[in-house]
Structure 1
Amino acid sequence: MALKFFLPFILSFALFLNSCGSGSSSSSTSITDDGTEVFSLEEKQFLHDLFLTEYLWYDQVASNIDYTQFTEPQEMINALRIDPYDQWSFTMTQQEYEDYTNQLTSGFGFGYTSDFFIYLVRINAPAYGLLFRGDQILEINGEAVTDTLIKQASDNLNVPTTFTLLRDGNQLYVTVSPSEYTFNVSLGKIITQGTQKIGYLRYDSFTENSVAEFERIFTLFHGENIDELVIDLRYNGGGSVTTASALLDNVTNAYASERQMYLDWNANYQQYNSSYTFEDIDLQDGNELNMKRVFFLTTKGSASASESVINALVPYLGADNVVTIGNFTHGKPVGMTGRVYSTNYYFLINFFVRNNDGDTTSFDGIPPVCIAEDDITHMMGDENETMLKTALHYIETDLCL
């Protein structure tokens, strides 16, 4: 089942924005008489130089290339990145970057499958509370649904769109107006199972602004003295490693000042290697947990920082106590540092992310301990949803469903 995100969604990158000296606005893309930006020779040289120096696989990049064959940055990136390892190096504009970090975007805010079943609605998006996971879209404004119709409607901001839906076997009509919106990426709840309290955290993206969101949820978990923790990363494509480190701080306070993970650059840039550590004791704010075991709900959409968090816990909790439920993760054991040229930000793969034992995850992804389908007939966090139900069963029996 193919998944489509109909929302600006960046898959699996670690954001470390650093300005490069060459990125001055005076030597950037040129502008034609009609206002069209041109991918300049200087910018192409800048990008090629990044590939030949900081790129993780720099020694496999062609040193002589014909710049005239490229008319836009992503086209050049696609030509230079090394397959099959690098599926991710990309560029984005300054505005796109700022919108992402501020969790600001526009449209409806839902993801759907190839047969138009909704599988995710962003928290606080225009569609949130109106369209639901498991709804099948039949029509858009009375016309049989297509990808093109959804995109056109989503781009038509502040104009109401009528969705004809199939929900629980019933056809109904729901009107949603796409708009600019700020979304959240975290939801938490307490599940009581017998005498145990289980904290469930839905976490959709490692954005820089999301730390305050999950801090509030961990305060709830700490106050309830939860026995087990389930973190739902099934659609979390990654984001800031700094945010991933903050999440780990909240999961356990038992390893103060110990190294969580480190970034391992290419042979010529080992001076850029950097480590992330658990909070010092005097920096802990009192809402941190001390989990002995953690469950993660994962799919191919769980990437990058999601995989790094899972991998970082293994040296401390032990592999048997880091329990993945669902399917293989995406398989992105690498990350990138952003470099700036004028209004373009370039994110090229720069480093491996390693845990305290020096291990990375596989390009094939992290395998599940228990295989479980992503059950879009139930809401995320519903105890009857197959992935969460499997985790709850494992908590009770130490067995997969």
Structure 2
Amino acid sequence: MAQIGAASPRQVLLGTAWLLLAGLLLPFPPALEAAGPVLRAVGSSVLLPGLGNTTHSRSTRWEFLNGSGPLPILQHLGGVLPPAIHPAYAGRALFHPSNGSLLLQDVRESDSGTYRVTGGRESRETQLEVLYPVSRPQLRASSLVAGAAGRVVCEVAEGRVDSISWSKDGQPPAPGSVSRLSGSSSALQLSPATRSDCGSYSCNASNGISWQESSLEIAIEGLSHRLKHTLRMAVVAVVFAVVSAWGLIIPVCQSQKLRIRGELWRWLSCYTCGLVCIACALDGTAGVLWMWEEGPSVAVILPEITLSYLTVVTFLVATTVIFQPADFSHLKSKKAQRTMSYAAPGAVLAVLLSSAFLIRSIHQRHEGGCTKFMDVTVLVASTAAVVALPLLAIGLCYQRTQSCPKQQDGSWMDKVSFEMSEPGPKDTIPS
């Protein structure tokens, strides 16, 4: 009976062939290669691994492989003789005979590449990559206004950038909002910007050897520059209208005997009408800017027509009072007299109502952002102080004339001032 499991002649022959092939391959092992590239910063040192114990090796050779061919670094023939170092690496290459490793000092970007050590029939290759550390990213943002598109840009000035990541208040941004502009810059799109986009934005730039992060606090503006100018114009128009109202009310509140007359009345009337005329023009311009920004609106167009009419009428009244005041006494139409008399008070009321609507609308528009509402306290105070000075001067002149009373001559100027301050009765309808 044959022995179970005995090898056949064919199997023995194949096993012998494999043993012979393995014996041939053992003297010629494949080159050893590192698992991944070795990363180092510019100016640092790197220890490139050798072949292990090379005490009994006859020679060890290091070379740098580039596109044009191998560049020799050093040759060590064994024994106690020092290695022969290529002049290009003199002072930077340090050889360790015990294990065949190479210490390369003060590495540069040009040192990036493949290094091969050969000893006898063994060799080993190491991939080296020398990088500049990334510099601190610079964050900048365009003028971010609620409802408009904007973006935040992150730029790195130095160093190769492998990746740029964003975060807002510690959380990643919305998908699709980040775009890579170039190898060293990235942008975060805010389209359109809203109040929820306010917060702290961070940009992290990194490569294989370093990383840097910068943060920027972003505040979304509720008002554009045009709307800010609109608000300033509306506020100034209100101040002009209020000061004009005081110029109109003061003479009415005086008794008939103490009422301002003559030349002082002429200058007071001219100033108040001129001031309210400017207020109408400013408020009308503010309305145009508002529609330019937000689009046409019936709530703005109708006041614009009224303000345009009142601007013309108050301008005519102011110029007539200053240049030809006697023309008022020649007006025969009671309707024309009432129009001239009520033009300034009506313009004051129109400016106050229209400006209030604009300021309220602008404030609502501002709520879309997260910045503070524009402080107009200084603007109001300075404007009121400037426009009130002429009224103060007229008041001082009036007090001076009251302290030195003169005989009233009942001239045409007194008649005109009386007619302007006391509008006539209603027109009679002809039969």
The structure whose Rg is larger is 2
Q: TM-score, normalised by structure 1?
A: 0.19
| Structure richer in strand, relative to its length | 1
Q: TM-score, normalised by structure 2?
A: 0.18
